[in-house]
Each structure stands twice: as structure tokens, then as C-alpha cells.
Structure 1
Amino acid sequence: MNLEEIFDNVYTKQSSKYGIQKSQQSIIEARQVFDDNIGMEGMLPTGPQEEFILQTQIRQYFQKEGINTTPIGTHPDFVGLESTSERINRYSCTMFVDIKGSTRLSLLYDLDTVFSFKNAVIQTCIEVVRAFDGYVHRIMGDAVMSFFGSADKAQENSIADAINCATTLKILLEQGITPWMEKNGLDPKDFGFRVGIDFGNDDEVIWGNFGYTTVGEVSATGLSVDMSSKLQSRASKNSTMLGQGLLDFVNWPDYFSHYKKIEVDGIKQPQKYLTPNITYTDNSPLNYRMKELSFDRFIEISALPNSVRSKVSANVRTNHAIDFKCFIEEDNGKKEYISASKFLDKGLNLLFNVSALTSARLKFPLTVNLIKTNYGQDVPEAEEGVASAKKALYINIPRQAPYSRTIPPSITVSEPEFTSYRGLHTMQCKVIDKDGALIFSDCIGVMIK
């Protein structure tokens, strides 16, 4: 079973209302339980009555408890603004997802098929947004507009949620839906999606009720809110464009973003600013910066399962007998920090643990190489973006005392660190066996406020 089979189940479940039937065997197979050895299989929703299954599966990887059942429309923090003239300043991270190429499907296939397909794609988008604590504000044709952030969530974490959401959408849509289209006779040539994300702080976004009492909605306005849809329109196919408000607020690293290249007079040039370039009252250009998310690099530090990430990045090499984790040391013990899932306060003590199962057929001793890289304007210039190798650690099965056959089930080595600079930083782990073969490779991203 693979992603397109799961998407087939999404399509079949909701399209059956309109007489589009699939084989019973396909439905049974698509209900099989998620298997981590397979990867993301089983993570797509199996129908409207089971709409929360997808987000439940995703949320566990990012240490998010419960489920997000918020309906479309007014953000729950601002329900009190409905039918009032009150306004509230509150930050927001806005995401705009536009599904491209689905309009052409109406020229090629019957309307029931087109409706079922588009609805299955939008259902997937909605549940991924809610999986990352997002609030779906509007569905506009083939587009979904969402807000991330709430009164009890740090501004930085709304950005972490939005970027992880966009990354997960790309995995699910590109690796699940496109192959499904090919297998089921739908032309995927023009199909794709583009995402725009931007952030505005408390003094840059205002919430209020637009329209009248009976014909209106509570929404947000501000430069960053308006820019999200424009950023989406400038993104490459199947890519995410990040706006200046987001890039500057969290010191987003150049390593995890890049300028989109456009051809001018036969020469490819970086597109640094959002176009059309709007102007101030004195006609000076805004020059609003934008950069595309470097998906191939960010997926390396995503909290999605290793089996999923290794299919995308050659720098992620899985090994069932080796585990690499990060922990926050606290007075009453330690708590696991999930890679690139949220921003941490400065001044925290971290512990990077590498464990190996002694019962596995590993060729001990193992050499553990940890490489730290700090990014961002707060990092000293001599260190910024420079990989710094830690002293090698070694994992070996200890010698046993005479007549003793007791061997620990696993052996762990640790490397202490601490949170110092605002931004996103990485710790890469490479494990080499006694023959010099690379048997494990992974990377943890640490976000710091």
C-alpha cells in the first residue's frame, strides 16, 4: 500500500455519494493501519465521518495533544467581535494555498469526477492545516486561506506551525495525489500547488468584523495578511514563498531559503522583491523581500518519520537499531524536544543522545560524529553557517565480567549543548561502523526565540 492508494480511499469515500464506485477490495486495503515501516501510508483521511484521522496521525510526531476541531470561519479568539465594531490588534501568521491546474480537469473529465477529486484534495489541505493548530478561514474555489497563532501561543511558534504545515502538504500532495492521478487516468501535467506564508506582529495586524451584521465576517487585515496571497502567486510550482515579515521576525536562515530565479533577457536573475512593487506616498518602492522555502533542506530536520524523509533526502539514512534524539534538561528530569517543532527560550540546557541496540547486527565499535551549525544574524560572524564538528563519541559493547552474560539492551552516548542565539540551528549526526561504512545519518533542527 502507498500514498496514492490512500488518496484513492479519500476520493472513493466521498465520491460514492455521486455514484462513482471503486472496488470493495480497494476500500478494504486502504483502511489498513498505518505502518511506520511504510512511512506516510495511512495518513490521509478516509472520509468526512473520519475527518480527524489524518491530523491525529500527524500531530503525534510533533508532540501536539488532542485534535483541532475548529470549524471554518471566525478564529476562535475573535468570536466576540462578530456583529460588533470593536477591533483588536493581534499578531497572525497567514498561509494561502492555491491548487493549480484543477480548472483544466473540467475540460477533460465529467463534473462528478472533477468535484470528487478537487474535494478530496481540499479535504487533505484542511486537515493538514488543522493538524498544525491552524484555523481555516476561507475556501475560495481552489484556494484555502488559513491563520496560525492564538492568544496562548508564542508568535514564533505560529511560524513553526505554518512552515511545518507547508512541508507536510508538499509531501502528501506531491507524493500521494500526483501518482494517484497518473494511475487513475487523470492528467497531472498541469496539476500542482503554490503556498504563500507571511507574518505580522501585534502592531501590524488588526482583527475586526467586515461587512454588516447579517452579511459579514471577522477577519484580519494588515500588510502581511494581504501579502500571503501575492506571495503564493509568485511561488514556483509545488513550492512555498516566505514573506519579509516572517523572514525578519525569526531570522530565518539563508540556508533554508533561496531566491526564485526568473529569466530576464535570457539571463536568470534572483527575484528578491515581490512584484508588482507597490509604492509609498512619495512613490518610493516598498521592496518587499521574499524567498522560497528550501524544501529539500528543511525536510532533513522535519519531525516527520525517518522513513518518509529518507525518500526525499539522501542525507537522511535510517537504521532501525540507531536512535538520535534531543532533550531539554529540567530540574525534575528531561523532556524530549521534537526537531524544528517549536521555538525554545534562550538559556536552556540541551542533551543530544545517540543510542544503539546491542542485539542488532551492528559492527561495533561505532563512531558517532556530531556537527553543529548555527545560523542567523545573532550568531558571531565567524560562526554563522559554519559547520563545527564535536569530538567523536564511541559506542561499544562493554566487556563482561567472567561468568556474566548480561549485556545492556542499548548503549547511549550524549553531547551537551545550550540555547544561545535566536533563529534556527542544526545538529547533524553521522554514525560509522568499524568497517568505515556510514550506517546512519540524521539532523535535528533547534529553533530558538
Structure 2
Amino acid sequence: METFLKYQNIIEKALNRNEIHKNLNESVRFSDQTKAVALEKYTMSDYISNRSELSLSTDLTAIAKSMGAVARNNQIIGHHPDFMYLKGTSNTEKHYIISAFIDIKGSTNLFKKYDEETNMIITNTIQLAAINVCQAFGGFIQRIQGDGLFVYFGGKNVDRSKATHHCLMALSLFSYFVKNDLKRVFEQHGIERIYTKIGVDFGDDDKVLWGVAGKEDTSEIATYSLHTSLAAKMQAYAGSNEIIVGQNVKDRAQFDDKLYSVVADKRYIFLDQDNSFFYTQYVFDWIKYLKSSPYVATSISGDITIKPQIINVPNINSLRETVGENRPYAKIKTR
């Protein structure tokens, strides 16, 4: 998918680092010394320069805008802008939020073939792809946890159902990138699979308490909620490149039931028998969701691409109304 091509290219360069380094010793035997220059190793300074250029395609950001998502840029981790007033206080507020835990699995196996710098470049680039796509769809990066991320979707003046749609679209696009685009790159280098496991849950106003965790500079504005905790637990039940969602997410999204299947190993992620509360978790069929989206086209081979956004051209009648009698070129007479 063209959307993540820049990220894919950086990872490809990083994977080539070791192979290129091994070939440098042999390159001095080449009569054409320009070949040796072509085999220069991809460095951390190269990566830092390339990283500053990373962005998402205009088509993807156009999808986010079409869905009504407002990008959250210039973030400070752990300090959601809608609740910054809680910083340095003991105040709390109840307000809904969607919690998403994204874990990138299998990256540890990279240490079998690659050095620490190469691993850093690869892991960091995958994380940046997740960060950028989540931010584009209104997600707030609460925390970077090892290889993964903890992200909030929603907030003040954001419709609950729309926030749910933004969340599922962002996570689906990122999952496609990892499962398909990255898989092809890694397979070419004989690397064991790297995949994602994602858990998502929605907690409404009465079930989410915002407050400060920690103290002074060692603090963050956090949520205290069953559903934040459940999102993390759901991630543990996800299979390779699966997204697990809670009942509240399913109810808020109001998508076709065919997009969900009950988690076979553990239907109820939380049971409170005393209060007759049984909370179901589902596998979300994100690939079927993407293929049913009006923003996506599917090729014969099953690959998806983002449709170019259509520019609305005004019809001729509306142009006549706008121009009126002001047609200076029509008054020019030719001899």
C-alpha cells in the first residue's frame, strides 16, 4: 500500500545494512571504485534524516478528514490536551475514552541477525507508522511501551461513535501495513514473522475516571477504568495481526455483525457473577471492514489501495452564475 511506502523503504535500507557491510570488504577488489561507494552502509544519521521526512499519504489524511477526524499533532506523551488542567492537582473528572493497546511481536528475533542500531531503526520506524496513522485519526499517544503503544481515541467534543470509527480505521490500516507490506519485506530477508496484537475497549463517562498518576515530573494524566484495563488484557488474547474489541466497541461502532466473532478461547474477558455482568470480547475482522470501506479499492489479487480523493468540479451552470456578465475575454475582437 503506497500509504506506508516511505516507512517500508527505510526498513528495507535497515535490513540491507548487514549485507552491505559484509560486501564492503570485497568491494575494494572492484576496478570501478564507484561500486564501493554505492555499497556504503545505511547509518543512524541517514535514518535520522529520513525519519524527519516521514509522513502519511495525502489520500490517507483525506480519509481521516472525510470521516470527521481532527488530527492531534504536537503531542506530549502522557498529557492528553483535553485533561491538561488536571496536571499538578488532585482533581479528577469522569469522561469517556477509547483505549487501544498495540503490541508489536517478533521483533526480538531480529537480534539473531542484526545489531542494536538496525533493530532500533526497524522498531522505531514501525512505531512511527503506528503513531502517525493514529494521530491522523485523532488518536493520542499516551505511552510507548517497549515495542508497542498505548493510545487514546476520543475526548472533549468528539462524538463517541465517530471516535470509535476513527479508532478502528486507524488500527485496521496499520494492521494491513504490518501483515502485508512489511511481511513481504521481511520474507525477502528470511526473517521470522513480525506481527501485531491489538486490544481495544470503550469506557463511557460513568466508567472512566481521569486523574494524575505519579507526582511532579514523574507523572502522567491517566485513566482509571475497567475498560482501559480490559483493552490491555484483550491484546493478550489476540492472535497474529488480530484486533480484539470489547462489547462496548461493538455497540458503539454499530457495524455489521458479520465483522465480529466471539473469542473462542475466552468469550468473557470479565465476569462479575454477583452483579450478573458478563463482558464479551470479539475478534474484529478488520480486513473485511477495510474492503467494505468506500475509501478503499481491492485488486483481483486481494490487495487493497486507497482510492484517490475526487475533486468536486462545479457544473457549468454554477460557473455561469459566478461569472455573470464579467467576461472580459469575450469582448476581445480579432481581425
TM-score (norm 1): 0.56
Checking the alignment, whether the CA contact within 8 Å between 1:94 and 1:228 is kept in structure 2 is yes
Match of 1:273 among 264, 268, 273: 268
Tell me if the contact between 1:56 and 1:66 (Cα under 8 Å) persists in the aligned partners. Answer: no
Q: CA deviation at 1:312?
A: 6.9
2:91 corresponding residue in structure 1? 86
Aligned to 1:7: 7
Whole-Å separation in 1 of the counterparts to 2:306 and 2:124: 35
Once residues 212 and 250 of structure 1 are traced to their aligned partners in structure 2, the CA distance between those partners, rounded to angstroms, is: 36
Deviation at 1:199, TM superposition (A): 0.5
Offset from partner CA, 1:270-314 (integer Å, 9 cap, x none): x4222xx5546x4x77532011111242122224431xx336759
For residues 204 and 245 of structure 2, the distance between their equivalents in structure 1, rounded to whole angstroms, comes to 15
The farther-off stretch of 91-100 and 240-249 is 240-249
- For 1:295, give the aligned amino acid: W
Task: Quote the offset at 1:319 in angstroms.
Answer: 11
Distance 1:49 1:317 in 2: 25
- Residue 58 of structure 1 corresponds to 60
Residue 331 of structure 2 is matched in structure 1 by none
The structure with the greater share of residues assigned to helix is 2
Q: CA deviation at 1:147?
A: 0.4
User: Which letter maps to 2:267?
Assistant: K
Contact map agreement 2:245 2:282 (CA 8 A) in 1: yes
The answer to whether the 8 Å contact 1:3/1:177 transfers is no
Does 2:151 correspond to 1:138? no
> Match for 2:192 among 178, 188, 191?
188
The answer to whether the 8 Å contact 1:59/1:65 transfers is no
Give the letter aligned to residue 199 of structure 1. F
Gaps of 5+ in 1: 28-44, 263-270, 324-449
Query: Cα offset for 1:195?
Result: 0.8
2:314 aligns with none
Give a deviation string over 1:217-259, Cα, whole Å, max 9, x none.
1011211111111111111110100112212344443211112
- The change in CA–CA distance for 1:66 and 1:84 in structure 2 (over 3 A counts) is closer
1:11: Cα distance to partner?
A: 3.2
Counterpart of 2:151 in 1: which secondary structure? strand
Give the distance between the partners of 1:292 and 1:143, measured in 2 at CA.
19
Contact 1:98–1:193 under 8 Å retained in 2: yes
| Paired AA for residue 282 in structure 2 | K
Give distance in 2, aligned partners of 1:295 and 1:176: 16
1:80-229 equivalences under 5 Å are: 80-183=85-188, 185=189, 187-189=191-193, 191-229=194-232
User: Does the 8 Å CA contact 1:97/1:144 hold for their aligned counterparts?
Assistant: yes
| Secondary structure in 1 matching 2:73 | coil
* 2:278 paired with 1:287: yes
Aligned-partner Cα distance in 2 for 1:232–1:111: 27
Partner AA of 2:215 in structure 1: Y
In the other structure, the counterpart of 1:35 is none
**How far apart are the structure 2 equivalents of 1:75 and 1:311?**
43
Q: CA deviation at 1:59?
A: 1.4
Matching of residues 299-448 of structure 1 within 5 Å: 299-306=290-297, 309-310=298-299, 313=302
Name the SS of the counterpart of 2:290 in structure 1.
helix
Q: Which residue of 1 aligns with 2:328?
A: none
Would you say 1:259 and 2:262 are equivalent positions?
yes
- Asked whether the 8 Å contact 2:262–2:280 carries over to 1, the reply is no
Question: Is contact 2:140-2:153 (8 Å) kept?
Answer: yes
CA contact (8 A) 1:4 1:177 kept: no
Ranges in structure 2 where 5+ consecutive residues have no aligned partner: 22-36, 43-47, 311-335
Does the 8 Å contact 2:296/2:305 carry over to 1? no
Cα distance in 2 for residues equivalent to 1:319 and 1:305: 5
- The structure 1 residue matched to 2:288, chosen from 262, 274, 297, is 297
| Partner Cα distance (1:123, 1:234) in 2 | 24
1:177 maps to a residue whose letter is: L
Higher strand share: 1
Greater RCO structure (CA 8 Å; 6+ sep): 2
Cα distance change of structure 1 residues 85 and 4 upon mapping to structure 2, 3 Å threshold: closer
Match of 1:237 in 2: 240
